[in-house]
Structure formats: C-alpha cells, structure tokens
C-alpha cells in the first residue's frame, strides 16, 4: 500500500515536472527565437541608418540662404522610383520623390502631385510644405547604386529653393 501511494505520487510529480519542462522549454524556445529575430532586424536597421548618414551631399539656397545637409538619404528601386532627402541638424529638410525615373540622365518636372517635393522648416514641423513646381535632374551611375543631379523647387508658401545639387550613394 505504501509503495503504491509512493509510486502514484512519484508519477504525479514526474508528470508535473515533464509538463513544466515542456512549457518552460517552449517558452525558452519562443524567447530565444524572438531575441534572434530582434537581433537580425536591429542589425539591418543599424546598417540602413549608417548608409543614410554617410549617403552623400546635398546643398541648395532656400530663399537665398544656404542649405547644406548633414544627413542625406537616397533610394532607387527596380521599378524606377527615386527618392532623395537631405536634412540639416536644425531639422530643416528637403525631400524629392520621382516615381518614374529611368536609368539614363534625365530632367523631370515637379508637378506637386505625381512628381513631388517638400520642405520641413524645423524638427517640430510634422508636415512638409509641398512643392507646386520645379525641376530635378537625375544621373544614375554605378549600376543604379549612386546618383547625382540638380534641382530647383517652388513651394506652396512662396519659398524658393534654388541652386540645388546632390550626390548620393546607397546599397
């Protein structure tokens, strides 16, 4: 009798331990999987930020005042979409988006709806001032991993961005 109860108790304890181990093992596996994916995605983000910081140069005149970007980001997708932005430490930023850029040197008109541009006044601005007109030249090189060009933009509020130039590299 004593042996039977002892065995039942041992079996119950062993069963509880196995169930606990399975749950703990599953939780541990899930935890390490999440940790692994976070590390992989974080590494990708760090690389992307690094590329943006060292991505090139952008200069212009905004209503006659010098604009020299400290951070430049650019991208060209295989479907022809070209984006570039340059920002200063004070938060001023110029953004240009040309959805139909081709791999040859070309000039594009900014129309404010399909081909767009914008300008942020400072770090506290949540929405850029949109462009109403302008021109952008794009010369892609290095197997579409770099671009240079010029731009001039007129914004909705009357601000004029002139003598713009950029040179950018990306992966």
Per residue in 67-102, pLDDT (tens digit) is: 999 999 888 887 888 899 999 999 999 999 999 887
Residues 93, 66 within the same domain: yes
End-to-end CA separation in angstroms for the chain: 75
Q: How many domains would you assign to the chain? A: 2
Indicate which CATH number applies to the domain containing 76: 2.40.128
pTM reported for the whole predicted model: 0.66
Contact 168, 74 (CB under 8 A): yes
Identify the domain boundary among 53, 75, 97: 53
For tokens 């060009």, what's the residue? 149
Q: Dihedrals φ, ψ of 4, to 5°? A: -60, -45
Residues 87, 147 within the same domain: yes
Model pLDDT for residues 27-40, shown as the tens digit of each residue:
444 444 444 444 44
For tokens 């009357």, what's the residue? 158
Identify the domain boundary among 53, 69, 97: 53
Residues 83, 45 within the same domain: no
């Amino acid at each position: 009798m004593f042996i039977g109860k002892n065995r039942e108790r041992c079996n119950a304890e062993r069963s509880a331990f196995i169930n606990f181990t399975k749950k703990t093992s599953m939780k541990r596996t899930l935890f390490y999987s999440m940790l692994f994916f976070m590390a992989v995605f974080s590494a990708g983000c760090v690389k992307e930020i690094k590329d943006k910081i060292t991505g090139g140069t952008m200069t212009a005149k905004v209503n006659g005042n010098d604009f020299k970007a400290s951070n430049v980001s650019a991208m060209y997708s295989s479907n022809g979409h070209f984006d570039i932005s340059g920002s200063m430490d004070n938060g001023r930023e110029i953004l240009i988006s040309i959805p139909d850029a081709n791999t040859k040197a070309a000039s594009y008109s900014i129309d404010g709806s399909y081909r767009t541009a914008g300008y942020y006044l400072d770090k506290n601005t949540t929405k850029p001032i949109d462009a109403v007109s302008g021109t952008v030249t794009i010369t892609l090189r290095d197997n579409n991993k770099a671009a240079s060009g010029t731009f001039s933009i007129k914004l909705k509020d009357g601000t004029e961005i002139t003598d713009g130039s950029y040179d950018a590299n990306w992966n």
